[in-house]
Amino acid sequence: MTVAHNDKWIDRDELVQYREAVKGYLQGDLDEDRFQAIRLQQGVYGQRQEGVHMVRVKLPGGYVSGEQLGVVASLLADYSQDDIASVTTRQDLQLHSIPLADTPQVLEEMAAQGLTSREACGNTVRNITACPLAGVCPAEHTDVQPVVDAVAARFLRHPLTQHLPRKFKMSFSGCESDCAQGLFHDLAVVATRRDGEFGYKVLAAGGLGHKPRPAIVLEEFIQEQALLPVIEAVLALHHRYSDRKRRARARLKFLLDKLGEEEFVQRYQTELQRTRAAYADESLPPAQWLDARDASVGAAGAPREVLEQKQANLYVFPVSLPLGDLSVAQLRGIAALLLRRDLHDVRVTQDQNLMLLNIPATELEAVRNELAALGLDSPCVGDDVVACPGTWTCRLGITASRLVCDELSGGVDDLRIRVSGCHNGCAQPYVGDIGLHGEGRRKHGKLIPHYRMHFGGDGRAGGAIAVRGPEVPASRAPEAVRRVKQAFQEARQGNESFLSWTQRQGADYFQDLLGDLQEIKEADIPHLLKDFGETQDFRVLALGGGECMGAVQETVSANFSEAAHEREYRRVFQLAKKHEQALDCVEAIARLIGHSLLDAVNDPSQPEALDAIAEGLAQAYPDKAYLSESLKGFIHDLAGLQEDFDETAFQRLSEMQDVWVVFAADACRDVDSQLELQAFLPDVDLLAKAV
């Protein structure tokens, strides 16, 4: 399959607007909060280092072409202060250390080759991950990549997803093995077969980071035409009910914990009734289903050796990338290797490697030799070690996660080692065979770098969140890993997997095994004070929080975003002659915009009744009486239409409400001139209508 340069991801106008925003910020005309929201929306993330930023390139399903890799190489050479692009565990590419003033040019040159970073950061739908072997795996029921592309395109810039309470992660797998690791996603779609019929299993509310939890089965089986309403229902559930006040508890998994599974599913079903009604005649592209052999659990990343594709005489060539790094020379070399053979399909994988697809059998040796000349090869036993940037570039990093990896190996059993510089777990330590995440612990009055250990995690089918192990000082982490590997070799039963062995042993076993490594005597302190690669004593820098929260007026923007989504529902229900649902949308829009107007002036009341909102607007905006008077008119008209629906009257009400929304946005921007609301406003001719 060829990856074409696709403009469906690109909006040229917003790139012009981003360039103007950068200019305004650098000139002091745009405040920090407002610019941060704009910057994050375009996938431009802050680093520990002042003045430079990381650009995260979204690659749905990990798809990228050789030509696009060549473009990434040129961007690094021309604009980055580093020589490295990094493959992430979410199948993105990250370009580090780019001066802020150069980021508009970087985004524009990416766009020219069909690459986007839009919504790669922030409280949005993040890059959608998928089976690395989608389309070529002999065991798959279907190639999920066309559906991944369709879902990614649909929810990019979608009103519902622009101001979610927190980020939202999706995965797609082509068979029951679930190589995309749905266990820890907010929403996971797994192709399956039941009673001879193909369809999807849907998981929801999984997550890593703070308080990791496995996803629940939301739908055991749905037909493919039901998938779009299901996805949108889960997004609507997150948007409507997840905690917007406490960022640390705003992920969907915390909503599940708060409500309990029964009520969580009930609220999902309520949202689903609505999305099914709205999209009764709309679905995602139909899948091509295959009677493949029964699946055995495959790899969550690149295969560990050259693999024969389901297409005859073609092979996948996996390329091992230590810590996910690709230099400019390597990027250009891979691009040239593919161009010479008229090949285009490359995948980046969740284990920070990449794969070259559709390699003819006759070319395998030549490809291996050309990669060797670039310092690259296929994976070898023990090198399945993944790390986040840690203190290299990340503002949240506590420990030097990349540097400790020089001392780590998966050993002869090729265990999966996953190392994160903090508890957020971007390297997925909670689903590795052996995971570590960085912490700082004070001992004898001194701050000591530590790693919390995790054992026996796996995000695939039949997997589990890892067993939580003890904390050990960072300098002793390699010894802790060595002991666990040795214990596994000595105590496993037959071909027992590491996951099964871990679950059989239990948490207390690892506490005993590593207990002496936790003990710190005062005499040990001088030997434990420095993190890997550091010459100075360990310290945790106060660099501020993460950059996913957006602007201070998040609630106002979120309400306008949801109102835009309700406006689309209003249109769909009107066309479908579903009058009651259409009227519900009118009421929802009025309430959302009314709340935004009150939020803008810091009115904490937030009444539910529309007449109470109208009274609140009259007090909050005495010089803008049309805001409250128009709302009172809507209340009157709604009551009449609920008694006796009239199509013409409803259309008039909808048009007048749209005008009111535009005036409401103007009123909010009178309070805060830097509110970004334009994308959520209806297209109305204000001169042709009177409120």
Q: Please, what's the b/e burial string for 228-259 (b: 16 or more CB within 10 A of its CB; e: otherwise)?
A: bbbbbbbbbbbbebbebeebebbbbbbbbeeb
Q: Please, what's the b/e burial string for 609-621 (b: 16 or more CB within 10 A of its CB; e: otherwise)?
A: ebeebbbbbbebb
* Lowest mean per-residue pLDDT among 374-383, 420-429, 669-678: 669-678
Q: What is the reported pLDDT for 295?
A: 54
CATH superfamily, region 1-126+300-378: Sulfite Reductase Hemoprotein;Domain 2 (3.90.480.10)
pLDDT digits (tens, 9 = 90+) for 453-474: 999 999 999 999 999 999 999 9
Give the number of C-alpha atoms closer than 13 A to the C-alpha of residue 542, restricted to the C-beta side.
Answer: 0
Closest CA to 528 of 614, 446, 459, 457: 446
Q: Please, what's the b/e burial string for 167-182 (b: 16 or more CB within 10 A of its CB; e: otherwise)?
A: bbbbbbbbbbbbbbbb
What is the torsion angle, in degrees rounded to the nearest 10, for the CA atoms of residue 49, residue 50, residue 52 and residue 55? 70
Q: What is the reported pLDDT for 505?
A: 96
Backbone angles phi, psi at 99, to 5 degrees: -55, 140
For residues 600 and 627, is the Cβ–Cβ distance under 8 A? no
Q: What is the reported pLDDT for 47?
A: 93
Q: What is the reported pLDDT for 128?
A: 98
pLDDT at 658 over 90: yes
pLDDT band, very low/low/confident/very high, at 687 (cuts 50, 70, 90):
very low
Alpha helices by DSSP H, listed for 360-462, are 364-373, 401-404
In this prediction, residues 185-210 reach a mean pLDDT of 96
CATH superfamily, region 385-528: Sulfite Reductase Hemoprotein, domain 1 (3.30.413.10)
Higher pLDDT: 629 or 281? It is: 629
% of the chain residues with pLDDT over 90: 83
Alpha helices by DSSP H, listed for 121-183, are 145-155
* Lowest mean per-residue pLDDT among 220-224, 367-371, 551-555: 551-555
pLDDT digits (tens, 9 = 90+) for 634-644: 999 999 999 99
- Kindly give, in sequence order, each residue whose CB lies less than 8 Å from that of residue 322, ignoring residues fewer than 6 positions away: 383, 385
pLDDT digits (tens, 9 = 90+) for 37-72: 899 999 999 999 999 999 999 999 999 999 999 999
Higher pLDDT: 208 or 536? It is: 208
pLDDT digits (tens, 9 = 90+) for 524-535: 999 999 898 888
pLDDT at 552 over 60: no
Beta strand 170-173 with 187-194 is: parallel
pLDDT band, very low/low/confident/very high, at 688 (cuts 50, 70, 90):
very low
pLDDT band, very low/low/confident/very high, at 542 (cuts 50, 70, 90):
low
For residues 362 and 388, is the Cβ–Cβ distance under 8 A? no
CATH 1.20.120: which residues of the chain? Answer: 554-688
pLDDT at 143 over 90: yes
pLDDT at 4 over 50: no
Tokens of 394: 């990340």
CATH of 133-278, one of 2.60.40.10, 3.30.70.3150, 3.30.1340.30, 3.30.413.10: 3.30.413.10
Closest CA to 164 of 72, 218, 241: 241
Q: What is the reported pLDDT for 675?
A: 82
Q: What is the reported pLDDT for 676?
A: 81
Residue 391 and residue 397: Cα distance in Å, rounded? 5
Alpha helices by DSSP H, listed for 167-260, are 227-241, 252-259
pLDDT digits (tens, 9 = 90+) for 173-182: 999 999 999 9
Q: What is the reported pLDDT for 256?
A: 98
> What's the farthest any 2 CA atoms get from each other in the chain?
84
Q: Please, what's the b/e burial string for 567-584 (b: 16 or more CB within 10 A of its CB; e: otherwise)?
A: bebbebbbeeebbebbbb
For residues 297 and 461, is the Cβ–Cβ distance under 8 A? yes
Q: What is the reported pLDDT for 297?
A: 52
**What rounded mean pLDDT belongs to the chain?**
92
For residues 613 and 632, is the Cβ–Cβ distance under 8 A? no
In this prediction, residues 522-551 reach a mean pLDDT of 75
Residue 170 and residue 492: Cα distance in Å, rounded? 35
Residue 379 and residue 102: Cα distance in Å, rounded? 35
pLDDT band, very low/low/confident/very high, at 536 (cuts 50, 70, 90):
confident
In this prediction, residues 326-349 reach a mean pLDDT of 97
Nearest-10 crossing angle of helices 554-575, 647-671: 170
CATH number at 554-688: 1.20.120
CATH 3.30.413.10: which residues of the chain? Answer: 133-278, 385-528
Q: What is the reported pLDDT for 684?
A: 79
pLDDT at 2 over 50: no
pLDDT at 7 over 80: no
pLDDT at 99 over 50: yes
Q: What is the reported pLDDT for 6?
A: 60
pTM of this prediction? 0.91
Residue 74 and residue 513: Cα distance in Å, rounded? 49
Tokens of 201: 């299993």
Q: What is the reported pLDDT for 31?
A: 85
Residue 266 and residue 302: Cα distance in Å, rounded? 38
In this prediction, residues 480-497 reach a mean pLDDT of 97
Q: How many distinct helices (H) and strands (E) make up the chain?
A: 21, 20
Q: What is the reported pLDDT for 543?
A: 60
Q: Please report the sign of the dihedral spanned by the C-alpha atoms of residue 243, residue 249, residue 253, residue 257.
A: negative
**CA distances in angstroms from 532 to 402, 438, 646, listed in the order given:** 9, 12, 72
pLDDT band, very low/low/confident/very high, at 157 (cuts 50, 70, 90):
very high
For residues 229 and 279, is the Cβ–Cβ distance under 8 A? yes
Q: What is the reported pLDDT for 319?
A: 98
Q: What is the reported pLDDT for 293?
A: 62
